[in-house]
Structure 1
């Protein structure tokens, strides 16, 4: 076999192996599931089991999935930009084990969740804004004027427990029939 033919076949072999490896990684990581709205995509990484289990036992489980609360709802471009940014940050944190036992939402993520809480519960929140002076003592320095919904509603939708090893009701993934 000529040297040039050998290089062509070797290059083709390396290319086929690379494509096979890429397909394996996509399959093993369930990468395509991240394009869906299925909440099970959020537990592809074992560290999210706590959040998934507590969500399953919440009032939101029947009405709102992960993306309904955690991703922008204004348009698809913003949704997928946020999904890509969060996915990248999560994959880096999970790969290099740089996350803490009690996972905390990022400032950007918290802003999105707050906006979605207000949007979904608009009839309630509009009345709260009208009655804000009656319900909040802004003269008290311990009360922030920019409060987030979960500061009062601590158990919604992930329960009060934040540690990865201390989740009540975490009996595994409950299959919905």
Structure 2
């Protein structure tokens, strides 16, 4: 009876060791501590984001707004870290085992976060333009309707 239990325990320990060791190795290789910061350099670690980072660095927002200032919800600790983890795991999956993502277009969730952050930073004059009635389409206007290339010249 003890032999199967010992083999099962050994197999479990090996599996846990590989999982934890692989996680630590990946965290070190991927510069995990940098990824947990709000530094734009974290986003530039993935080769597919190099052009995005370079265009941001040349743009007018590089001196006062980084990636997370625009792309993650501000002022809500749980929403910020939940979405940071979600995006990090999603990007990690695509770049590690799933190939490159099909495109770098923002999801509806990201689009909403970016627009909310634009309106918050530029509240002195953005409130006059958001959902303006001069729009000829049935879609309401938002910041990205007119300012799509403001953060990244590549768009």
**TM above 0.5, one fold?**
yes
Q: Partner residue of 2:24? A: 23
* Cα distance in structure 2, aligned partners of 1:144 and 1:91: 37
Cα RMSD over matched residues? 2.9
Deviations 1:109-150 (A, max 9, x none): 0100000000000001123359x34xx1x5x3xx34422312
Name the structure with the higher helix share.
2
Q: Is the 8 A contact 2:73 2:117 kept in 1?
A: yes
* Cα distance in structure 1, aligned partners of 2:107 and 2:19: 35
Q: Taking structure 1 as reference, are residues 16 and 156 closer, same or farther at Cα in structure 2, changes over 3 Å only?
A: same
Q: Partner residue of 2:93? A: 92
* Cα distance in structure 1, aligned partners of 2:18 and 2:87: 30
Q: Partner residue of 2:144? A: 150
Q: Partner residue of 2:52? A: 51
Specify the structure having the higher radius of gyration (Cα).
1
Residue 103 of structure 2 corresponds to residue 109 of structure 1: no
TM-score, with length taken from structure 2: 0.80
State the secondary structure of the residue aligned to 1:82: helix
* Cα distance in structure 1, aligned partners of 2:25 and 2:89: 19
* Cα distance in structure 2, aligned partners of 1:19 and 1:149: 43
* Cα distance in structure 2, aligned partners of 1:55 and 1:31: 22
Residue correspondences, number: 150
* Cα distance in structure 2, aligned partners of 1:110 and 1:128: 17
Deviations 1:86-117 (A, max 9, x none): 112222222311512x4111110010000000
